[in-house]
Every structure is written in C-alpha cells, then in structure tokens.
Amino acid sequence: MHLPLHNPGCGTVLDYLVVKFPYIAESVWRQRLMDGKVHWLNGEMINSSTLYRSQQCVCYYREVEKEPVIPFEEHIIFQDEHILVACKPHFLQVTPGGNYVDECLQSRLRRKTKNDNLQALHRLDRETAGLVLFSVNPETRSDYHTLFEHHKITKTYQAVADIGADAMLCKHWVVKNRMEKSNPRFVMHIVSGETNAHSVIDCVDDTGNKGLFELSPVTGKTHQLRVHMQSIGYPILNDKVYPILQPKKEDDFSKPLQLLAKKLEFVDPITKDERVFCSDRELLSVKC
C-alpha cells in the first residue's frame, strides 16, 4: 500500500491505517505493529510512533477473523528446482483474497514446502478444481511468465453439464465472441463487438442425461469457459453464476462446480523438455 502524496492529516502510519481501514479497530493495528506485521518496503519495521511518509510503500500482512476452512486437500503433481505443479480441490482459492488468506493454495503450499518464494503463475476460479503452475525460483520466474504472455502453454479442461435427451457425443463447437463485465462486475456477459474470447469445445461422452465436455480456451477471459458453455446451451453443472446468479450463501461442499483444469502442456523454457501434466481428479460420473 502506498501512502498518498497529500497527507490526509495523519501524523503517523498508524493514524493512516486507522483512517484507511475504518472497520479494523486501532487496538488491532497496534497489536499487528507490535507483532512485526507491518513494515516499509525495504523491510524496516513500522511501530505505533513511526511518522507518516508520503508516497512510501507500506507492507502489511492481512488477517481474517474466523477464516473458513476448506476441507479438501491439494496434491503436488511435480516439483523441481524451478517449478511446482499442484492440483487444487474445488472451493480453494489460488492466492490470498477476500475471506481467504491462510486457506488458499499458495499459502498451503508455502507451508508444506517451506518455501516463501513460491508464487502462482496463473489463476483458477475458487470454484474450479485442477492444475496450477507455480514458480519456486525467483531467478527463473520471468521465463515461465513469458509462457503465458506469449500463449506458449496449452490448457485443457473438462466439464459436466445436463444435456437431457440430446445426443451429444462427438459434437464440436468453436465459440468466438466478445465478453465484458456486467453488473455485478464479477459477472461476465457476451456483447457485440470485436472478438476477445475464443474457446473450442467437444463432447466426449453423453451417457444418460449428463455430458462430459473437453474445453480448450484459446484466450483467457474471466469465466470464459463458464460463459461459453452457457452460450451453447449447456451451462456447467452446479454453476452458481451462469446462467442465473444465485443468492450468496455458504458453500455447499456436496455440489462443486463441475469444471476441472485437467491438463497443462508446454516446452520448459529452462530445460527445453516437453512438459505434459495431467490431473488425477475426476468430475461427477456422466453415467449417473
């Protein structure tokens, strides 16, 4: 957090924290300062009497009271001196945010590997399960970021949807359209205009009233696969946002979103090896 150029009337950093975060009591901030959880960017600790410094960066460790516990385990698929590949369960966030700080994949893996340099290279929705690629070595991190920047990594997903009596096996869709934020802003919708979202979708099993779909995103817009599955008439099973936004309520762990990041493929920029990682997780059986 950068302190504003124009001081809003604060003598100390503590004064500003109290103003900036009105729902956190001053006593809580004082305790965090005493515990060494607030410091300048260079690592110098900040205490309750540290003076306000315009435009300087303050680092603090966010805490959440009564953080929800996600009762599912992640699995490490692969690890070497440069990268780690993990398979996250449904409902677990990838990085800290909102009500989740310790209960996220990155924090769990940092504790498990004892490596605070571990950093996620991309994201999955909290509701989505599957493979996430992490950098473990800051010296080579930019090489792996380049894979995503230049679209040099191939991702394959699986999804389950209700298909009724439709015969879907081997059906194929190429979906191209324009997606933008709607209201509320985390909901995406399709609008007219230049294409910015592109997915390839295939139905690979259609037993009973369920279809198993393989999805290959060419672009990476927020909620792209969920919106594109809705657009072809088969929204993903247990989706609480598409096609209709459901009222916010506690997670129902018995009904995970049936979307899985199944496979990652890329040429390792350091070793030059062909890397192919597959999740051993399975979605609901389509034979129910």
Query: What is the set of domains in the chain, with CATH numbers?
Result: 13-60 (no CATH), 75-278 (3.30.2350.10)
pLDDT reported for residue 285: 60
State the angle between helix axes of 13-20 and 26-34 in degrees (0 to 180), rounded to the nearest 10. Answer: 130
Asked whether the predicted pLDDT for residue 286 surpasses 60, the reply is no
Beta bridge partners of 179: 190
**pLDDT tens for residues 45-65?**
999 999 999 999 999 877 777
- What is the C-alpha to C-alpha distance for residues 253 and 236, in angstroms, rounded to an integer? 16
When pLDDT is averaged across residues 178-193 and rounded to a whole number, the result is: 94
Express the helix, strand and coil content of the chain in percent, nearest 5 each. Answer: 15, 30, 55
Split at pLDDT 50, 70, 90, the class of 167 is confident
Sequence-separated (6 or more) residues with CB below 8 Å from residue 240: 127, 246, 257
- What is the C-alpha to C-alpha distance for residues 41 and 57, in angstroms, rounded to an integer? 6
**pLDDT tens for residues 92-143?**
999 988 888 889 999 999 999 999 899 999 999 999 999 999 999 999 999 9
Class of residue 211 by CB neighbours under 10 A (exposed 0-12, middle 13-18, buried 19+): buried
Q: Pick from 283, 284, 276: which is nearest to 77 by CA?
A: 276
Asked whether the predicted pLDDT for residue 188 surpasses 50, the reply is yes
Q: How many CB atoms lie within 10 A of CB 271?
A: 12
Asked whether the predicted pLDDT for residue 260 surpasses 50, the reply is yes
55: left (phi over 0), alpha (psi -120 to 50) or beta: left
Q: Which amino acid is at 89?
A: P
pLDDT reported for residue 207: 83
- What is the C-alpha to C-alpha distance for residues 264 and 155, in angstroms, rounded to an integer? 5
Sequence-separated (6 or more) residues with CB below 8 Å from residue 149: none
When pLDDT is averaged across residues 152-165 and rounded to a whole number, the result is: 95
Split at pLDDT 50, 70, 90, the class of 288 is very low
Percent of the chain residues past pLDDT 70, beyond the cut: 99
pLDDT reported for residue 246: 93
Which stretch of 21-30, 57-66, 87-96 has the lowest confidence by average pLDDT? 57-66
pLDDT reported for residue 15: 96
Instruction: Encode 231-268: b = buried (16+ Cβ within 10 Å), e = exposed.
Output: beebbbbbbebbeeeeeeeeeeeeebbbbbbbbbebee
**Number of DSSP helices (H) and strands (E) in the chain, helices first:** 5, 13
